[in-house]
Structure 1
C-alpha cells in the first residue's frame, strides 16, 4: 500500500470546514438551475458534467493528475481495492439529485438536518469498521458525544427556518432522500480516500467520481426524457453552472483528508463548513425571506465546538474505548 501523507488535525479540520462551505453554495446554485430549466435530473446531470470537464482538464494539465490517471487501470487490474469503489461517484450523483428534488419541498433547513443526521451516524460506523484508509477508529465516549452534539447543534442552527415547513407526515417520504444520501456520503468518503491513496492523488479519485456519477445520472435522465420529454432551455447565466466545480472542491478535499482524520472527523468538519457557508450566504447573498437570528449563529458556533469535542485527546486509542 502506498505511503499516505498524514495531515495534522489542526490543519485538516479547517480544510474540512472549508470544503464543507462549498456544499450550501452548490445547493443554492443547483436549486436555481433546477428552477430555471424545470428539471431536477437535468440540473444534477449538468452539475456533474461541468465538474467532469473541470476534472479532465486538471488531470490532463497537472503532472500529479497525469500520474494518478496512469495508475487507474493498474490499480483495477491488481485489485488494490474492491472494484466497486469506482462507483462511489454514484453516491455523489444521488446526493446532488436529492438536493434538486427535495429542497423545494423540504426547504434547505430540513434537508440539512436529515443529511447531517445520516452522515454523522454512518460516520461512526464506517470508522469503527475501518472501511476508510485511516483504518479502524475506536468508538470512544467523546466521539459519540461529539457526533450527537453536532446533530443537536445543526437542528438548533436551522430551527428558525423550520416554522414554515409542512406537517411531519407530509415530510416523511421526501426526507428519506437526504437522510439516505447523508448516510451514503460517509461510505463515499471512505471509498474515495482509499482509491485516492492507491492512485497516489485525490485528483484521480475525484475524476473517477465524476465519471461514474455523470454516467448514472445520464442514464436516469435519458429514461426521464423518453417518458416525459425535455425541460426548459438552458439558461445563459454562467454562475448557474458552478455546481460542478464546487463539487470538485469538497469531493477532492474529503478524499484527501479522510486518510488522516478518518470519516467521522472529516464529516463533522464538513458539516461545520456547511453551516458556516449557509450563514455567510444568508448574510452576504440572502435568499428571499431569509433572516439571520441568534439561534443560527449560536447553533453554528456550537457545531464547531462539537467538532473540537470529537477531537479531544480522550479519543486516543486506549482511552475511554468501548470494548
Structure 2
C-alpha cells in the first residue's frame, strides 16, 4: 500500500487536474449560454447530458447498481442522512451560473470568486466534521490560506470597481461554497454506496431535475431559443461534469474538504488564465485579474502546507 503522504499527494494532483476541467466546463457552458441566449436552457442541457452519460455507465457497472441498494439501506437505517442525496443542488447552481455569470465577467474572475467560496466553505465543513473523513482541525496555514483567498477576490474586484458588474463576483463566491458542500455530501454517498458511480448518478439526477424545472419556467417567459450552435464541443459540459464530480467523490475522504477544494481551485485558476488569454468570454486579462489569481494560487500552496492545529481546537 502506498505511503499516506504519497496517497495525499496523488489525491491533490488528481483534484488539481479535475479543477482544470471545471474551468473548461465554465468556458463551454458560458459559450453555450451566449449562443442560445438562455443560461437556464444551457445549464439543463449540460446537466442532462451528464445524466445520460451516467445512466449508460450504470448499465455496465455492477458495483454502481449494487450501490443504489446500499444507499437505500443506509438511509433506512439512519446511517446516511437524506440531505446527503442533495449534492446535485450544488452542482446545478454551479452549472447554472457558469451560463449566467461567466459570459458577463469572464472565466478568470468567475473562478477567483469560486476560490474564495470553496476554501472558506471547505474550512468550515472540515471544522464541523460533516465530511466522510470526520472532523479535520484548523491549522494556522489553512487559516492563512483561506484568508488569502478572500484577499484575492478583493484585489480582483478592486480592479473592476468602475464596472457595474463588479458585485456579480459575490455570486461565484456563494457558488464556490456550494461546490465544497457538494464534494462533501458526494463523499458521504460514495462511502455509503462503496461506488463513485452511484454517488455521481445521484448528483446528476437531483441536479438535472432542478435545472430542467428552471429551464421550463424560463422558456415560459422567453420562448424557445431561435439559434442552436452547430459546434458539438459546446454540448460537452455534462461529460466534463461527470469526470469532475466522480473524482471529487473519490478523493474527498483522503484529502479532506478544504485541501480538496484548494487543489481543485489551483487547477481552475491556471486553466482560467489560459482561457482568458486564448478564448476570452468577457474582457480578457487585466492586471487585477492576474494579481488576484496569483494571490489565490499562493493561498492554495500555503493551505496545503502541514502545520500543527490551532491551540485550543479539537
Equivalences for 1:262-273 in 2 at 5 Å?
262-273=256-267
Determine the structure 1 residue equivalent to 2:42. Answer: 43
Contact 2:129 2:136 survives alignment (8 Å): yes
* Aligned equivalents of 2:302, 2:25: Cα separation in 1: 28
CA deviation map 1:226-285 (0-9, x unaligned) = 2332122432221111111111121111111111111100000111010122234356x4
CA deviation map 1:185-229 (0-9, x unaligned) = 221111111111000012111111110000011111111222332
Determine the structure 2 residue equivalent to 1:11. Answer: 10
Determine the structure 2 residue equivalent to 1:167. Answer: 162
Contact 2:115 2:296 survives alignment (8 Å): no
Query: Structure 1 stretch 89-98 or stretch 273-282: which is displaced more?
Result: 273-282
Determine the structure 2 residue equivalent to 1:3. Answer: none
* Aligned equivalents of 2:284, 2:164: Cα separation in 1: 25
Which runs of 5 or more residues in structure 2 are unaligned?
none
Determine the structure 2 residue equivalent to 1:142. Answer: 141
Determine the structure 2 residue equivalent to 1:67. Answer: 66
State which of 203, 222, 225 in structure 2 corresponds to 1:228: 222
* Aligned equivalents of 2:158, 2:284: Cα separation in 1: 12
Equivalences for 1:80-95 in 2 at 5 Å?
80-95=79-94
Query: Structure 1 stretch 181-190 or stretch 46-55: which is displaced more?
Result: 181-190
Equivalences for 1:113-192 in 2 at 5 Å?
113-152=112-151, 159=156, 163=159, 165=160, 167=162, 170-172=165-167, 174-192=168-186
* Aligned equivalents of 2:209, 2:250: Cα separation in 1: 24
TM-score, with length taken from structure 1: 0.85
Shift of 1:149: 3.0
Which runs of 5 or more residues in structure 1 are unaligned?
1-5
Contact 1:45 1:217 survives alignment (8 Å): yes
* Aligned equivalents of 1:255, 1:187: Cα separation in 2: 11
C-alpha distance 87-179 of structure 1, shift in aligned 2 (>3 A): same
Determine the structure 1 residue equivalent to 2:311. Answer: 321
Contact 1:138 1:321 survives alignment (8 Å): no
* Aligned equivalents of 2:221, 2:310: Cα separation in 1: 56
* Aligned equivalents of 2:118, 2:164: Cα separation in 1: 23
Contact 1:20 1:272 survives alignment (8 Å): yes
C-alpha distance 279-105 of structure 1, shift in aligned 2 (>3 A): closer
C-alpha distance 299-179 of structure 1, shift in aligned 2 (>3 A): closer
C-alpha distance 302-101 of structure 1, shift in aligned 2 (>3 A): closer
CA deviation map 1:292-316 (0-9, x unaligned) = 98984x876665554343233314x
Determine the structure 2 residue equivalent to 1:312. Answer: 305
Determine the structure 1 residue equivalent to 2:270. Answer: 276
State which of 279, 282, 286 in structure 2 corresponds to 1:286: 279
* Aligned equivalents of 1:220, 1:291: Cα separation in 2: 32
| Count of residue correspondences | 308
Contact 2:107 2:276 survives alignment (8 Å): no
C-alpha distance 41-312 of structure 1, shift in aligned 2 (>3 A): same
C-alpha distance 69-260 of structure 1, shift in aligned 2 (>3 A): same
